[in-house]
Structure 1
Amino acid sequence: MQEKIVLTCALTGAGPISENPAHPVTPREIAESGLAAAEAGAAILHVHMRDPKTREYSGEWAFYEEAVGLIREKNSDVILNITTGLGAAFYPVDPLCPSEAGPGTGIWTPEQRVEHVLKLKPEICTLDLVTAHIFGGFVISHEKALARMAELVRAAGVVPEIELFDTGDAVLAKHLIAKGSLDGPGIYSFVMGLNFAMHADPETMTYVRNLLPAGAHWQGFGIGRNQFPMAAQSVLLGGHVRVGMEDNVFISRGKFAKSNAELVSKAKRIVEDLGPTLATPAEARQIVGLKKAA
């Protein structure tokens, strides 16, 4: 168990919008929710954008620019982790013969997937190594596309947080490190509890942790009701913590969270009850080896 725990708050996500009225949607709502989460103890804010009209996920550059600008205007210390997970979704017209793309499909080039990151230059961006059956469709991540994305963000001085959705993703990460596409040992997130992906349980978290390169930094986090149990488990196994409305919108069974900050505050209590304390952004940079963005 580490003495200092880096807590990430994932503010809104790209999945179907929840029924929680506090779920942030507009760039301003996302920014204000992030600022409150940082005040509550989050050292890192994980940022997606949604279209204010449709409430669906969005890769629109202007939305990222607005939200990041609002956060940086009020808090230049908190670490930003911006998604590159968009542009990998495939929804077949006929699931029994998935040869033709249907509505909702969005397959982008590596350059398109990281364009907003190259412009905004956060300290961290995600790199999702997943190919899986998620949200009724498929997420497709080809090794060559991932290597190109890694090359582009490295040149921009952005550190990838490697997102693992299943155990084979950890094997792929080590392959990309061996090829020189990724710098090792790396920073990792285990996405646990989605249907048809990594189970949210102590045995799986332990197994995936043991697959990582020596010296890697990691966090295991759970979806839905698994959020807080997996937060505690991650701390006990030597990892860090992620919570937020991207993954879970309830503060307790049947009760919506009032904000991302409320989720962070509960996670902080869990961490401190186990013994460690939360890292400040400056401490988090030192722990995972970041250099503060200019």
Structure 2
Amino acid sequence: MSLPHIMVAPNGATKTKTDHPALPITLDEIAQTALACRDAGAGALHLHLRDDAGRHLLDTGAYAEALAHLHPRLGEMAIQITTESAGRYEPGHQRYVALNSGAQMVSVSAREMLRDHELLAIRFYEEAAERGIAIQHILYSREDAEALVHVLPDRLLRDPGLQLIFVMGRYVAGQVSTPAMLDPFLDWMQAEAITPDWAICAFGSGETDCLRNALAKGGKARVGFENSLVMADGTTAPDNAARVAEIAAL
């Protein structure tokens, strides 16, 4: 299972309709947004759920219900669930959700997994591989990447199907991303002599420039309101599909 050239991340863990009225929250809104983004060029949906109070939700039952609701509506469009903690969940809970929600694609932060003992992370990665669950490893820095090397079994690290996502600008002042933020990750992959299936996401007004740079260098893109509400010209995007269409045109 490989990553699509474009994955849409339409809502994230914390944004609300006060940030943008077109931000999807309910399953029906997410489905409608995903279909519009599919038509605009996205091959997969990065799925976040909310509870009744609008808070970030990691729950196996809720994910199972969401996947059952979305798959028939989205057809062949792939669905990746998140295990982001958003300050609410511990690694054990995140691992359980990743393994027991019925999803075939899951994003997992290496930094968050390593809040626990390394052996627990190693066992988790091995079990996910045994179950055929495609883990996309979230890496915020080269230090995260180097830490992943120590806990990911070598056969998985060297597998060309290894999925990575490099995050540009998440933990910098103002969440401003620049294309140069990709360079440490490119250097790391070259140093490790690996050729994974990799993508980036980028925060703020630099999102389009960062995605353009990554696509030109052989990467893939995750785009959407989770990361930025801004078009390349600095105007506010009308909806997620507009952001996808702009990147698809690249």
Shorter-chain TM band: 0.7 to 0.9
User: For the Cα contact (< 8 Å) 1:128–1:141, is it kept in 2?
Assistant: no
Alpha-carbon separation, structure 1, partners of 2:205 and 2:44: 22
What is the match of residue 128 of structure 1?
A: 109
Does 2:201 match 1:201? no
Shift of 1:12: 1.4
Q: Which 5+ residue runs of structure 2 have no aligned equivalent?
A: none
Shift of 1:129: 1.1
TM-score, normalization by structure 2: 0.83
Distance 1:79 1:47, change over 3 A: same
Alpha-carbon separation, structure 2, partners of 1:60 and 1:214: 34
Taking the TM superposition and a 5 Å limit, the aligned residue runs for 1:172-251 are 172-178=147-153, 184-185=159-160, 186-196=162-172, 200-212=177-189, 213-251=193-231
Q: SS of 2:54's equivalent?
A: coil
Shift of 1:259: 2.4
What letter matches 1:113 in structure 2? Q
What letter matches 1:200 in structure 2? S
Does 2:112 match 1:113? no
Alpha-carbon separation, structure 1, partners of 2:79 and 2:218: 23
User: For the Cα contact (< 8 Å) 1:114–1:153, is it kept in 2?
Assistant: no
Aligned residues: 242
Alpha-carbon separation, structure 2, partners of 1:214 and 1:143: 22
Alpha-carbon separation, structure 1, partners of 2:241 and 2:106: 22
Does 2:35 match 1:60? no
User: For the Cα contact (< 8 Å) 2:109–2:138, is it kept in 1?
Assistant: yes
Could you report, residue by residue, the CA deviation over 1:123-158 in whole angstroms, capped at 9, with x for unpaired residues? 321121125xxxxxxx94653343233133223211
TM-score, normalization by structure 1: 0.72
Shift of 1:22: 0.8
Percent identity of equivalent pairs: 24
Distance 1:129 1:199, change over 3 A: farther
Could you report, residue by residue, the CA deviation over 1:156-183 in whole angstroms, capped at 9, with x for unpaired residues? 2111111100111111222233556766
What letter matches 1:63 in structure 2? A
What is the match of residue 32 of structure 2?
A: 32
What letter matches 2:133 in structure 1? V
What is the match of residue 285 of structure 1?
A: none
More helix as a share of residues: 2
Shift of 1:107: 2.0
What is the match of residue 288 of structure 1?
A: none
Alpha-carbon separation, structure 2, partners of 1:21 and 1:199: 23
Does 2:150 match 1:151? no
Distance 1:263 1:199, change over 3 A: closer
Taking the TM superposition and a 5 Å limit, the aligned residue runs for 1:157-176 are 157-176=132-151
Structure with higher Rg: it is: 1
Q: SS of 2:170's equivalent?
A: coil
Alpha-carbon separation, structure 1, partners of 2:158 and 2:176: 27
User: For the Cα contact (< 8 Å) 2:91–2:115, is it kept in 1?
Assistant: no
Q: Which 5+ residue runs of structure 1 have no aligned equivalent?
A: 90-104, 132-138, 272-294
What letter matches 2:28 in structure 1? R
Alpha-carbon separation, structure 2, partners of 1:159 and 1:244: 21
What letter matches 1:30 in structure 2? I
Shift of 1:239: 0.9
Alpha-carbon separation, structure 1, partners of 2:142 and 2:13: 22
Distance 1:164 1:215, change over 3 A: same
Taking the TM superposition and a 5 Å limit, the aligned residue runs for 1:35-50 are 35-50=35-50
Taking the TM superposition and a 5 Å limit, the aligned residue runs for 1:67-146 are 67-86=66-85, 89=87, 105-109=88-92, 112-130=93-111, 140=115, 143-146=118-121
* Alignment RMSD (CA, Å): 2.9
Q: Which moved more, 1:29-38 or 1:172-181?
A: 172-181
What letter matches 2:73 in structure 1? K
What letter matches 2:67 in structure 1? V
